[in-house]
Chains A and B, each alone.
Chain A
Amino acid sequence: MKNVILKNKILLSILLIVSILILVFVYNDYYLYKTPILKITKIETKEKANDRNKEIIYEQKITGIILNGKHKNEVYELENITSKSGVYDEQINKNSELFLDISNDKISIIGIKRDKYIVILIVLFIDLIILVGKSKSIRILLSLLVNVIVSSIVIFWYQNHYNDINILFLFLPISVMFIVLSLFITNGKNKKTLAAIISSIISLFISFSLSIIILKLYNNTIPYWNMEYIEIITDYKNLYYVNILLCGLGAIMDIAITMASSIKELIEKDSNITLDSLLKSGKEISKDITGTMTNVMLFTCYTAVIPMFLLALKNRMTIANTIHMYGQLEMIRVLTSSISIVLCVPISLYVSVYILKRWKHD
């Protein structure tokens, strides 16, 4: 017992030290950048006289010093114009670090350094998952890492081939790969995993086909022209279908593995359980697990429309028009993934019972 506590203390200290080291590193990573980074030493913000617009416009006079590259330690002065709302400009404060373009006579800001905020959250996330997840955390992190690596490879590869490859046909096999890898890594090699994988794949294809059929039927009413980045991608319909495919993917796996675990639990508790009572208990479980999952999809996906909605409403567009124009695409995504969640419940119930119960007799 004492050994365990000591071991925990050592692990905690290592975690703490590593986290601090990473944060120190990311707060001083300027030398890694090729673009000159400006640290602001002085910033003067003053209201600009403005009678035409109702909104206050600010003029910012920024003085700062370059932190990296061959211009290191040189002092630069520049100006930035920002507004109270900040819809389409950068609100710079004295803690901001700016990327500059100093190749021309006119110095311009090309971006703001945001990497440290992402890294802070990543460190917080990993620390928390290790503290809460204990031994399970390694599998969770590994599965996430594999998913991130696979998606990055696919996306980076597709970046260069986006005009000659049908994105839908690329992502159909990839999504099957996601299912197999994620479930396999988090749950290990056993019958439960197999049941979950098979039910996920069946549910994915049934619900996806259903969604595509409906989308094709109502093709003309879908405001595809409101998709982001549409100007560059000619194959926007297939891109949207891929969005739909991926959106429900994780939720389907969630339902499938929960169902497989519960059925396995029931069989293990009472190995003589009849098929009928197994299905009956499975149906009881299914009532519980659909409940809030649909709301998770709604809240995580639909919130993406908020800035656009707000801008439209503030420009005196009616609520009905705004929902129609800017809410539809996201709502279709939420609804189709909710449909796949619900479809997955009976499918995973029957598949799990079939695999776990029947194979028991063999």
Chain B
Amino acid sequence: MIKILSLILFLLLLLVGKKQGLKTFICFYLSYFLLIIYIVFMGYGFNAIIVSLIICVIESLISLFLLNGYNIKTKASFMSITIVLIIMFIIIFLIGKHANIQGFSYESIESIGIFMFDINYNMTDVIIGMYLVCTIGTIIDTSISISSSINEIYENNRKLSQNELFESAMNIGRDILATTINTLYFALIASFIAFFIWHRAESIEYIINYKVFAQDVIELLLCFIASILIIPITSYICSNKLINSDKQK
């Protein structure tokens, strides 16, 4: 099943994107294996937060430098991604430590009942790491889109000042933001349907404080926040780097 779908994806990417499509496919599967390795490392008992941070950095290296080459725009993107990752880490860490959202809840008991729960591994760290890894995809995507477009603009008009370049980057960022929020919303909303059917008899005050609901809503909001934060940061760093690199020449 997975193989058939992968094959279809591969053929379509090759047909639509040619060489770049092939790269995308390789990058997609590298990321998939990276995710599996990440979980396996946690399984061996490495600290979940540290592993997830390393995975985020490796993933940005892969999708930036492998997919888009080593140049000023990818270097600028990498710097911005690192900064946003640090900011998001602080937010996620504080929320994760305080909101009591680790582990499973009552409705999962059927599926997790076959396992022992004494795994001796801190589930709070797991959810913090999970949120970090969850946001990295959209951070990278937005960052690359902005830095590519800003590079394009600068190539076409070398006379632009840093401020003008920053403003046009922000404008592109705003357009991207509108669609990114949509993408994230629909990618994550589907799980709510079954949740609400299960909890159809519960009151609103129970639902909004419920662990699984909080887990999902917080995940969605963190992805939103990450995709907003990356816009001004990439715009600033990228416009700065482009102008400065020209001065040096």
Chain B associates with chain A: yes
State the A residues within 8 Å of B (CB): 32-35, 53-55, 83-93, 95-96, 99, 111-115, 117-118, 120-122, 124-125, 128-129, 132-134, 136-137, 139-140, 143-144, 147-148, 151, 155-156, 158-160, 162, 167, 178, 182, 186-187, 210, 214, 218, 221-222, 226-233, 239, 242-243, 246-251, 253-254, 257-258, 261, 286-304, 306-315, 319, 323, 328, 331-332, 335-339, 342-343, 345-346
8 more contacts with CB within 8 A, not counting A88-B117, A288-B20, are A87-B119, A88-B104, A143-B178, A182-B182, A251-B187, A295-B27, A296-B138, A298-B28
A121 & B9 in contact (Cβ 8 Å cutoff)? no
Partner of B183, one of A34, A162, A254: A254
Binds A, one of B158-166, B191-199, B237-245: B191-199
Docked-complex contact A140 and B178, CB < 8 angstroms: yes
- Min CB–CB distance A302 → chain B (angstroms): 6
Q: Return chain B residues, CB-CB under 8 Å to A227.
A: 194
Q: When the two chains form their complex, are residues A300 and B43 in contact, meaning their CB atoms are under 8 A apart?
A: no
Give the 10 A-B residue pairs with the shortest CB-CB distance, closest first: A299-B137, A250-B186, A313-B43, A55-B118, A250-B183, A314-B119, A335-B5, A121-B221, A254-B179, A296-B137
What separation, in Å, do the CA atoms of A289 and B43 have in the docked complex? 35
Cα–Cα, bound, A313→B46 (Å): 13
Does B248 make an interface contact (CB < 8 A)? no
21 contacts between A and B (CB under 8 A): A114-B211, A136-B177, A160-B200, A187-B178, A214-B5, A228-B191, A233-B194, A239-B193, A250-B179, A251-B183, A251-B187, A286-B17, A287-B16, A301-B187, A306-B42, A306-B133, A307-B103, A311-B119, A313-B39, A313-B42, A314-B121
Q: Which residues of B contact A (CB under 8 A)?
A: 1-2, 4-6, 8-9, 12-13, 16-18, 20-21, 24, 27-28, 31-32, 35-36, 39-40, 42-43, 59, 63, 67-68, 91, 95, 98-104, 107-112, 115-124, 126-127, 129-130, 133-138, 140-141, 144-145, 148, 170, 173-175, 177-198, 200, 203, 205-206, 208-211, 214, 217-218, 221-225, 228-229, 231-232
Residues in A whose Cβ lies below 8 Å from that of B104: 87-88, 307, 311
For the complex formed, measure the closest distance between the CB of A108 and the CB atoms of chain B, giving whole angstroms: 13
A300 touches B137 (CB 8 A): yes
Nearest to A52 among chain B residues (CB) is B118
CB distance from A152 to the nearest CB of B (A): 9
| B205 with A295: CB separation less than 8 A | no
A151 B13 Cβ-Cβ under 8 A: no
> Separation in Å of the A66 CB from the closest CB of chain B?
16
| A306-B126 contact given A87-B103, A114-B100, A301-B187, CB 8 Å threshold | yes
How many angstroms between the C-alpha atoms of A346 and B15 in the bound complex? 10
Q: Is the CB of A307 within 8 A of B137?
A: no
C-alpha spacing A147/B203, complex, angstroms? 22
- Report yes or no: B137 in contact with A295, Cβ–Cβ below 8 A: yes
* Minimal beta-carbon separation of B7 from chain A (angstroms): 10
Shortest B45–chain A CB gap in Å is 9
A221 to B5 alpha-carbon distance, docked (Å): 13
> In whole Å, how far is B180's beta carbon from the nearest beta carbon of chain A?
7
Chain A residue, CB-CB nearest to B62: A295
- Residues of the B chain whose Cβ atoms lie less than 8 Å from the Cβ of A86: 102-103, 122-124
Nearest A residue to B193 by beta-carbon distance?
Answer: A155
Q: Is the CB of A254 within 8 A of B182?
A: yes
User: For residue B56, which residue of chain A has the nearest CB?
Assistant: A299
Interface of B: prevailing SS: helix
Closest B residue by C-beta to A301: B187
Q: Collect the chain B residues with CB atoms within 8 Å of residue A124's CB.
A: 91, 221, 225
State whether B130 touches A306 (Cβ < 8 A): yes
List residues of chain B with CB within 8 A of the CB of A309: 39, 43
Once the chains bind, are B118 and A214 in contact (CB under 8 Å)? no
Prevailing SS type, chain A contact patch: helix
A residues in contact with B108, CB < 8 Å:
228
Cβ distance A300 to chain B, nearest Cβ, rounded Å: 5
Docked pose: A160 CA to B18 CA in angstroms: 49
**Contact assessment for B40 and A319 in the assembled complex, using a CB-CB cutoff below 8 Å:** yes
Q: Decide yes or no: A122 and B221 within 8 Å by CB, A308-B111, A310-B119 being known contacts.
A: yes
The answer on a CB contact under 8 Å between A296 and B183 is yes
Taking a contact as CB atoms under 8 Å apart, the answer to whether B117 and A242 are in contact is no
A186: which B residues are within 8 A, CB to CB?
Answer: 178-179, 182
Query: With A and B bound together, what is the CA distance between A134 and B218 in angstroms?
Result: 24
**B114 nearest CB neighbor, chain A only:** A315
Q: Are A332 and B208 in contact (CB under 8 A)?
A: no
Q: How far is the CB of B157 from chain A (nearest CB, A)?
A: 13
Supposing A128-B225, A129-B228, A323-B36 touch, asked if A158 and B197 sit within 8 A by C-beta, the answer is yes
Contact of A84 with B120 at beta-carbon distance under 8 Å, contacts A144-B185, A159-B196, A258-B179 already known: yes
Residue of A nearest to B8 (CB): A339
CA distance A255 to B229 in the complex (A): 22
**CA–CA, A243 and B187, complex, Å:** 9
Q: Is the Cβ of B228 less than 8 Å from the Cβ of A128? A: yes
Given contacts A117-B218, A311-B112, is CB(A292)–CB(B36) below 8 Å?
A: no
For the complex, give the distance between the alpha carbons of A306 and B180 in Å: 23
Bound: A299/B95 CA distance, A: 20
Query: Which among B28, B186, B210 has the greatest number of chain A C-beta atoms within 10 A?
Result: B186
A85–B140 alpha-carbon span in the complex (Å) = 31
A306 x B18 contact (CB < 8 A): no
Cβ 8 A contact of B174, one of A121, A134, A233: A134
Is the Cβ of A299 less than 8 Å from the Cβ of B177?
A: no
